[in-house]
Amino acid sequence: MNRRQFVRSAGGATAALGAGASATAAAAEEEGGGGSKRPDFGGYTEGAKGGEYADERGSDEVTVTVGAGSGEVAFAPTNLWIDTGTEVTFEWTGNKSHNVLFEEMPDGAGISGHEPKESGAFSFSVTFDTTGIYKYFCQPHKALSMLGAIAVGSDVATKSVGGGGGKSLHELGVPIQAHWVGAATILAIVMTVVFSFYVLKYGESPHTGTGR
């Protein structure tokens, strides 16, 4: 193969790779990135301290740490999915004053939080018998995004997330199509450089491309 033939072939390969990558990325985006389902908390805990998610369906008892993280201003896990009838124990770390106040809950739930508790070990428990989404916060540290949310039962709104339970490229603000097309273009450039190096080092046969 001579230089002109290689350039034409590389150009065709680049176009094919780009088209294939675009189609694959578009399909993945339509399917939600091929990831798993999580409760849709309506963006309530976006930017919340901690940010941990736990699927504790199948557990009868679950503990949420109040005052987690290096700054001790987070609920851990921040986002939680449990079955109806699960008992959740809110357990203070004992280093700062916190409370747990519910901002939203399903109609008829009647869940009560707890007023501020000064530093010291403390805990209280709540049994979640009503299906739905619960959103809560720590009043002294709400401005620092000390927020939490609990999904109860299987009949709650969900959304798809990226593979492995993390955020998808689209959720992170990366244009998926451009990402894959860029990778294909880089691959084509590398192929061209390798071929050029080979030609410069070893030269071309005088019979290349002549049909002999």
Block means of pLDDT (10 residues each) for the chain, 212 residues, are: 50 48 43 71 95 97 95 96 97 87 94 76 92 96 96 96 53 50 76 71 56 50
| Same structural domain, 18 and 120 | no
Give the pLDDT score at 78.
98
| Same structural domain, 88 and 118 | yes
Residue 45 in domain:
yes
Dist. CA 127–CA 180, nearest whole Å: 47
C-beta pairs of 190-195 under 8 Å, 24+ apart in sequence: 191/10, 191/13, 192/6, 192/7, 192/10, 195/6, 195/10
Residue 211 in domain:
no
| Same structural domain, 94 and 178 | no
Number of domains in the chain: 2
| Same structural domain, 63 and 25 | no
Rg (C-alpha) for the chain, rounded Å, is 27
Residue 156 in domain:
yes
| Same structural domain, 61 and 155 | yes
- Determine which helix (DSSP H) or strand (DSSP E) holds 39, and give its type and residue range: strand 37-39
| Same structural domain, 48 and 147 | yes
| Same structural domain, 7 and 102 | no
Q: What is the CATH number of the domain that holds 90?
A: 2.60.40.420
Determine the structural domain holding residue 106 and report its residue range: 37-160
Give the pLDDT score at 12.
54
| Same structural domain, 87 and 154 | yes
- Total-model pTM: 0.61
Q: Token pair 């009647």 is at which residue?
A: 110
